[in-house]
Chains A and B, each alone.
Chain A
Amino acid sequence: MNALPEGLTTEQIAELIDLVKRVHGFDFSDYTKASLKRRITRIMMIKKIGFYDLKHLLVNNQSFFQEFLEEITVNVTEMFRDPGFYKALSRLVLPYLSTYQQIKIWSAGCSSGEELYSLAILLHEARLKERAFIYGTDINTVVLKEARKGIYSFRNIKNYAENYALSGLRGSLTDHFTTMYDAAAIHNELKTNTLFTVHNLISDTAFNEFQLICCRNVFIYFETPLQEKILNLFYDSLCPYGFLCLGSKETIRSDLFKMKFKVIDQKENIYQKIGF
């Protein structure tokens, strides 16, 4: 086992953040530092490069920056992660959504699409899918390409199937997929009325009005002031009484936003927009 490279200093991380911001226009300054340091250290280990090589590549090699971006932003995701969340969504939110002619949903920080397709399956099973349009956004174009394909390795599907079985839905996850050799493709009917597009939560603005926004396990990478800035973006992007779902360990702590969002499910962190 290789020894870990010499730890990056706080100053070196600040230097990299500044460099990426100036050269590529991506602002990581309000990302949580411990996690950022882990990601950067990981890239340096994978590439077997030191701090100065990293800086050099970041400035001079555009394709390296794409790789860097992919590694920096965590793209580990699961279908039906936290089955209890999907149960709560079915019970507490879908009855409300069913009163709308057209249901607009935003999966923010959608990565390779697992969460968006989980929502699509949930809506399909509740017979709401035909009336729904789901947007998936991420800052990373590579994962968006994967998301549009909707093809996942069979090994992952087996892991997701365990979540599905606990989520209270009938049948099994594979009912929604066509399997081919070692991969599984999500059914085309579940891909209709979905759109994957680039959106940067940090620098872009509201682009539509939604009844439901899911942004799970994205806030954990942001420092509190940035979380609040994005909460404001979500507030502006929700219709009156629209729903916001955060990850099961992500809570709204700001007093201002506690007044603007009502807690619908404490454990699963489902909120409803109020106080407009």
Chain B
Amino acid sequence: MDFDENISCRWHNSDVLLLGGSAGSFNLIFRVVKILPADLNKIVIIIIHRRKNFLSEIERMFAKNSSMPLKEVSDKDKINKNTIYIAPANYHTLIEKEGYFGLDVSEAVWFSKPSIDVTFDSAADVYGERCTAILFSGANQDGAQGMLKLKNAGSLTIVQDPSEAEMPEMPGAAININAVDCVLRTDEIFELLKTSLR
């Protein structure tokens, strides 16, 4: 598959991969986790909407299937490359300039805690143009504003093609406010991420 050379190049050069999604995104993000190599040389941060008090198997399932170490974020965790971080339920996950995570229990954003907007916004502040952010299926518009901020900061922003998303609202909202560099089908997203292997 031929991507705009510019897109592959920006993906290669980014230090951080941000993955956001809600309803209908779980299996897609799981597949991304599976294909990322242990020596990706990037920080990977995942924000998936989920319910509190629901002892999810997400971490265990993801960890079992990923080549990189995977961790649910705790307060003041140092942020390292070649590690996958998952935002915990019932907190917002923020990034501090000094290279560690901060958590926040303040109001839900778009009825969501963790909110994708909050983490994307904070990543734009700290990492500027050094991110690749991908927004998958979801039933609300969380993530769109954060993605716009990332795009304005010079990061690469990608959404799953709403026409094939289980829930098109989330990627659609980002497209509507011009927060998106490219709209890709899921097979194209996986293909792009694999180009790092070459």
Binding site for B on A (CB under 8 A): 1, 4, 7, 10, 32-35, 37-39, 74, 76-77, 81, 83, 162-163, 166, 217, 219-221, 224, 227, 247, 249-251, 253
Task: Kindly list 9 other residue pairs between chains A and B, CB separation below 8 angstroms, not including A38-B104, A39-B106, A74-B105.
Answer: A10-B97, A32-B94, A32-B96, A34-B97, A38-B94, A74-B104, A220-B91, A220-B105, A227-B76
Q: Is B88 an interface residue (CB 8 A)?
A: yes
Q: Is B53 an interface residue (CB 8 A)?
A: yes
Chain B's nearest CB lies how many Å from the CB of A170?
19
Q: What's the interface size class on B, roughly?
A: 20 to 34
Residues of the A chain whose Cβ atoms lie less than 8 Å from the Cβ of B94:
32, 34-35, 38
Residues of the A chain whose Cβ atoms lie less than 8 Å from the Cβ of B102:
32, 34-35, 220-221
Residues of the A chain whose Cβ atoms lie less than 8 Å from the Cβ of B97:
10, 33-34
- Do B145 and A4 touch across chains, with their CB atoms under 8 A apart? yes
Closest residue of B by beta carbon distance from A74: B106
CB contacts between A and B, total, < 8 Å: 69
Q: Given the interface contacts A35-B102, A250-B75, A251-B75, does A7 sit within 8 Å of B125 by beta carbon?
A: yes
- Do B125 and A37 touch across chains, with their CB atoms under 8 A apart? yes
- Do B73 and A249 touch across chains, with their CB atoms under 8 A apart? yes
Q: Given the interface contacts A217-B105, A249-B103, does A33 sit within 8 Å of B96 by beta carbon?
A: yes
Closest residue of A by beta carbon distance from B106: A74
- Do B105 and A83 touch across chains, with their CB atoms under 8 A apart? no
Q: Given the interface contacts A4-B145, A4-B149, does A249 sit within 8 Å of B91 by beta carbon?
A: yes
The complex places the Cα of A33 from the Cα of B76 at a distance, in Å, of 12
The complex places the Cα of A226 from the Cα of B163 at a distance, in Å, of 49
Chain B's nearest CB lies how many Å from the CB of A166?
6
Q: Is B122 an interface residue (CB 8 A)?
A: yes
Task: Please provide the chain B residues from 67 to 112 with a CB less than 8 Å away from any CB of chain A in the complex.
Answer: 73-76, 88, 90-91, 94-97, 102-107
Residues of the B chain whose Cβ atoms lie less than 8 Å from the Cβ of A37:
125
Residues of the A chain whose Cβ atoms lie less than 8 Å from the Cβ of B103:
217, 220, 249
The complex places the Cα of A163 from the Cα of B91 at a distance, in Å, of 16
The complex places the Cα of A162 from the Cα of B53 at a distance, in Å, of 9
Question: Can you spell out 29 A-B residue pairs with CB atoms less than 8 angstroms apart?
Answer: A1-B177, A4-B121, A4-B145, A4-B149, A7-B125, A32-B94, A33-B96, A33-B97, A34-B94, A34-B102, A34-B126, A35-B94, A38-B94, A38-B104, A38-B106, A38-B118, A38-B121, A39-B106, A74-B105, A76-B105, A162-B53, A217-B103, A219-B75, A220-B75, A220-B91, A220-B102, A220-B104, A250-B75, A253-B76
